[in-house]
Amino acid sequence: MESTRILLIRHGQSQGNAEQRFGGHTATPLSELGRRQAEATARALATECVTAIYASDLRRAVETAEPLARATGLAIKQTSAFRERSVGQMEGFTFEEAAEKYPEEYAALLRRDFEHVLLGGESYRQLLERAAQALDEAINDNRGGTIAVFTHTGTACILTLHLLGALDAPELRPVWLRTSNCGINRFDMRADGFLRVLALNDTRHLVGL
């Protein structure tokens, strides 16, 4: 039976990551390490016959997708739907600064409150609604192909749980599946909806960087 391969990839290390700052919707670029990670990821995906490349329209995700786009000749389909969750007023602050300045908002993040809308930002539910719709559309548009989606750690977590059907169970919504910078999550989805998990947070291609 025909299957579609789904590759969910977190962006490389950003300058904000290196400084331990909340990224959210800010346009932080890749660090030097992040650029090396992006090149290594493109090499790792060169044999996977990628047929479509999608990316969050935030700078760090697009910069991570660019080496694969150059290698394959494919255009990057950028969309705000694959952005990270907006953390609103906390964006740009270090984790320590945010915890001190916005203690209630920071606490809601730590307990993975699925419904809590951050001050000036989004809830995990809002993130799910926009990102899951975009992923479902990408899958439907590329049946039988291989899609690479360059996104963010929170978005990759929510999309992985969405693919697994885990978010239908309220008790599983606080689960956090961390994806490292340029970690790859691989799935095969059959036409009948059967999902096979091939790898979560695969970082073997980054060894030695």
- Active-site amino acid positions: 11, 84
Do residues 132 and 162 touch, judged by C-beta distance below 8 A?
A: yes
Full 3-state SS string of the chain: CCEEEEEEEECCCEHHHHCCECCCCCCCCECHHHHHHHHHHHHHHCCCCCCEEEEECCHHHHHHHHHHHHHHCCCEEEEHHHCCCCCHHHCCCEHHHHHHHCHHHHHHHHCCCCCCCCCCCCCHHHHHHHHHHHHHHHHHHCCCCEEEEEECHHHHHHHHHHHHCHHHCHHHCCCCCCCCCCCEEEEEEECCCCEEEEEEEECHHHCCC
Contacts of residue 39, defined as CB under 8 A and 6 or more positions apart, other chains included, come to: 67
Q: Residue 106's beta-bridge partner residues? A: none
* Type of residue found at 2: E
